[in-house]
């Protein structure tokens, strides 16, 4: 089964009860009325300072661990939702994602993260909202804090803390996106939701080697943009490794659309 087939199979069918509350989730998987609204997301302030980016213990492109100093900034509490993205396309006439029908999202998915958006789509939404895409460093600091933790919540993986492939395997059912903010126990130290799993998130950063990296690859440079955060989908076919850790990253062309790709926005603090 392909990724697109999996996404369609997981979508709520017409007439299906939407009030399904799954382990670890504070809200049903599907529902009709938005919890978070259709205006651009509220944001969380990330103070200036140092943090540890990357790791020495896993994939070659994730290391070496190194110290990065960032200015203060703001970043969205949640991933941008279908409902929020619909407000954008309604206001601007922007093309709708492929999983929308008649320019609206699937039933029950108003608060699920928007997917099937290119890097350009994500950039355009953030610009319209008076924001921008985060850099990969800004994204990673917001996810893991200043104590070099592996996951937003700490150093031990928790199957019920995030919408990951392992979560759906444990449930024995097809995976899908989930409403933003549904995993209360998966918040980052700064209070951000879904920084592990749900959807991969576009960043503004090119896919480059970290300082001191000793594993050159032809993929580094200004061809691919970096995505962070992992997703609900099992990407082992692409040999991407377990995607839940905050230091994990992926890279794709800016024109790529995918049922497991979404985004959140950031903004300068000054």
Domains of the chain (ranges; CATH) run 1-270 (3.90.1580.10)
* 8 A C-beta contact, residue 44 and residue 190: yes
In which residue are the tokens 């997703």 written? 231
The set of residues, in sequence order, having a beta carbon less than 8 Å from that of 14 and lying 6+ positions away, is 107
Phi and psi, residue 204, nearest 5°: -85, -5
Confidence at residue 20, expressed as pLDDT on a 0 to 100 scale? 73
* The token pair that represents 158 in the structure block: 């928790």
pLDDT given at position 234: 72
Other CB atoms within a 10 A radius of the CB of residue 100 amount to 18
pLDDT given for residue 21 in this prediction = 86
Residues 158, 167 contacting (CB under 8 angstroms): no
Residue of 40, 41, 17, 15 lying closest to 28 (CA atoms): 17
User: How many CA atoms, within 13 angstroms, populate the side-chain half-sphere of residue 84?
Assistant: 28
Compute the residue count for the chain: 270
Which residues lie closer than 8 Å to 92 by C-beta, 6 or more apart?
124, 128
Q: Specify the pLDDT at position 15.
A: 38
Q: Please, what's the b/e burial string for 126-165 (b: 16 or more CB within 10 A of its CB; e: otherwise)?
A: bebbebbbbbbbbbbbbbbbeebbbbbbeeebbebbbbbb
What stretches in the chain show pLDDT beneath 70? 1-19, 235-242
pTM for the whole structure: 0.92
> How far does Cα 83 stand from its chain's mean position?
16
Sign (positive or negative) of CA dihedral 259, 260, 261, 263: positive
- Residues 105, 111: Cα–Cα separation, whole Å: 10
Q: Is residue 150 within 8 Å of residue 185, measured between CB atoms?
A: no
Cα 146 to Cα 53: distance, rounded to the nearest angstrom:
9
Contact between residue 51 and residue 238 where contact means Cβ atoms under 8 Å apart: no
Pick from 116, 119, 118, 114: which is nearest to 88 by CA?
114
């Amino acid at each position: 089964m392909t990724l697109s087939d999996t996404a369609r199979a997981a979508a709520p069918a017409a007439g299906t009860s939407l009030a399904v509350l799954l382990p670890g989730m504070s809200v049903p998987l599907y529902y009709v009325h938005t919890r978070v609204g259709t205006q651009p997301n509220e944001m969380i302030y990330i103070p200036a300072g140092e943090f540890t980016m990357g790791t020495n213990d896993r994939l070659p492109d994730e290391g070496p661990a190194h110290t990065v100093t960032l200015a203060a900034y703001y970043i969205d509490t949640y991933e941008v939702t279908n409902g929020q993205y619909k407000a954008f396309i309604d206001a601007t006439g922007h093309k709708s994602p492929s999983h929308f029908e008649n320019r609206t999202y699937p039933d029950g998915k108003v608060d699920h993260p928007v997917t099937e958006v290119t890097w350009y789509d994500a950039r355009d939404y953030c610009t319209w909202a008076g924001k921008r895409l985060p850099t990969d460093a800004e994204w990673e600091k917001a996810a893991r804090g200043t104590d070099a933790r592996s996951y937003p919540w700490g150093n031990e993986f928790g199957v019920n803390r995030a919408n990951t492939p392992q979560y759906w395997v444990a449930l024995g059912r097809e995976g899908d996106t989930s409403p933003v903010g549904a995993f209360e126990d998966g918040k980052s130290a700064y209070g951000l939701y879904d920084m592990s799993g749900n959807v991969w998130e576009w960043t503004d950063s090119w896919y480059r080697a970290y300082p001191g990296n000793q594993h050159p690859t032809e993929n580094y440079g200004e061809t691919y943009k970096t995505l962070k955060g992992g997703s609900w989908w099992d990407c082992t076919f692409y040999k991407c490794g377990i995607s839940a850790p905050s230091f994990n990253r992926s890279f794709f062309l800016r024109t790529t659309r995918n049922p497991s790709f979404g985004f959140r926005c950031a903004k300068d603090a000054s």
